Amino acid sequence: MLSPDFIKTGQGPRLAFLNEFDSATLAETLVAFANTEGGTIVVGLDDEGKLNGGVQNDTLDKVLREADSHCSPPVVVSTWEPIEIERGTVYALRVPRSIELHALNDGRVLIRAGQKNRPLGGQEILKLASAKSTGDFESELVPGADKDDFSRKMLDEYLSKRAERTKRPYNGKIDDLLHEIGAVDAEGHPTVSGIMLFSEYPQHWLPQTSIVFAKFVGKTPRGENGLAGYSRREELTGPLPRLIESAWNLIWSEMAVSAVVKGLEREETYEYPAFAVREAIVNAACHRDYRLKGRRIEIRMYSDRLEVISPGGLPGFITVDNIIEEHFSRNPRIVNGLFQWGYIEELGLGIDRMVEVMEQAGHKPPTFDARPYSFAVVLYNARERQSAPEWARNTNHRQQRALQYIRDNGSITNREYRTLITGVSAETLRLDLADMVERGILLKVGSKKGTYYILK
């Protein structure tokens, strides 16, 4: 049952408030949710989540029947759920994602985009129809697998993370929850998504679910004399949550680290922003086409870039041009599972933030390479650095740290310099400062214990 806390969250890709409860508006939202990720429609609230009190219980089913007559084919939904909120009662209707393409009787095909329902154009409709016709692979049963193949440890971890996300523990039967999230069918047989999330070794049935990592010496896969150019190659296996962590830890261990001195503090800067790397891994795990059995997710680490390549082109109506604004998942059950696990912070906003953190760190934005049977995210490690002023060149690394300290604090004393640079004699540090005074970089102010240095 939907928690009353949904009002605080507000409308979004999977939640709509209907202030005016009429069959035409309801039909548009039914079609939009069914064509996209599914969602929940709440009637009796305005756009701001305020109770309007205009919905009568006895009209709910009548309006729903009328709305269904506007949809082609009809959208299969559950029954209305009454929800008690602070100022009264509202009614919620769950709309599952559909494997069919739904349209309105006037020919419009709608999808859910953010807080709105958006009509698709001709080419977008064709792409969405193509995605729908491929079936729902993640909900297919896994031959030879049994519910006993689920790991109790993974299930307990999921329940714990889910409770953190929803702010309340799950107190029902675990079998009912597994069926609700699509991990098993009505008879308790494991599905592809269930095995991928909860089995210790999904690769026994689904070998394409592993990840291949390769670290290359240069900017190309080729090494010298026609040999492979990688210095490290690993194949990662396990359930999806463990795969994501293993891939992240592997990349983290191979990342170059530099240091920037701010004041007296030494701040480590990594080759790529952590969020951007994790988002690229999670996106590949969530959205790849698992029907393609001969290919696995590949992570390629070159000297100048990191590539995360997932099998299968972009799903549905998504293109490189609209990838930041729009959202459509090939594997919604897997997406929801990883969302509850905490690997996805907010549905539909990951790419947007990936671009933002790359730019904030001084990198160029990530690039996206969409092909018919693969999709790659490329993160470049080169930062746009400002060239040092002429007077600051040809200084040693100790002097550079002193100059940075002066830029941050206005001046530096001998004592502060000795605190900043350890393991070097006081005489060497005195000579460093004297050298910069002689070269006209610094100006010496005061005498004896009152001496300090500023930029000239």
Pairing of strands 81-85, 15-18: unpaired
Cα 208 vs. chain centroid, distance in angstroms? Answer: 21
pLDDT band per the 50, 70, 90 thresholds, residue 385: very low
Question: Domain extents for the chain?
Answer: 6-133, 147-204, 207-331+342-380, 390-455
Distance separating alpha carbons of residues 285 and 423, to the nearest angstrom: 47
Model pLDDT, residue 265 = 63
> What residue type is 255 in one-letter code?
M
Pairing of strands 211-216, 39-43: unpaired
**The CATH number of the domain covering residues in 390-455:** 1.10.10.10
Helices (H) and strands (E) in the chain, counts: 14, 18
Q: What is the mean pLDDT of residues 434-440?
A: 88
Pairing of strands 88-95, 39-43: antiparallel
Query: Which helix (DSSP H) or strand (DSSP E) does residue 336 occupy?
Result: helix 332-341
The two three-digit tokens of residue 40, written as one number: 């929940």
Distance separating alpha carbons of residues 194 and 269, to the nearest angstrom: 38
pLDDT tens-digit map of 246-262: 999 999 989 877 655 55
Distance separating alpha carbons of residues 321 and 56, to the nearest angstrom: 43
Query: To the nearest whole percent, how much of the chain has pLDDT over 90?
Result: 46
Most confident of 90-94, 236-240, 372-376: 236-240
Length of the chain: 456
Distance separating alpha carbons of residues 325 and 348, to the nearest angstrom: 8
pLDDT tens-digit map of 397-427: 788 888 888 888 888 999 899 888 877 788 8
Cα radius of gyration rounded to whole Å, the chain: 28
Q: What is the mean pLDDT of residues 301-323?
A: 90
The two three-digit tokens of residue 336, written as one number: 């929801």
Q: DSSP states of 136-156 as a string?
A: -GGGSB-TT--GGGB-HHHHH
Q: Is 307 helix (H, G, I), strand (E, B) or coil?
A: strand
Q: What is the mean pLDDT of residues 264-270?
A: 68
> What residue type is 194 in one-letter code?
G
Any idea which architecture 207-331+342-380 has in CATH?
Answer: 2-Layer Sandwich (3.30)
What fold is seen in the domain 6-133?
A: 3.30.950
With beta carbons less than 8 A apart as the criterion, state whether 257 and 270 touch.
Answer: yes
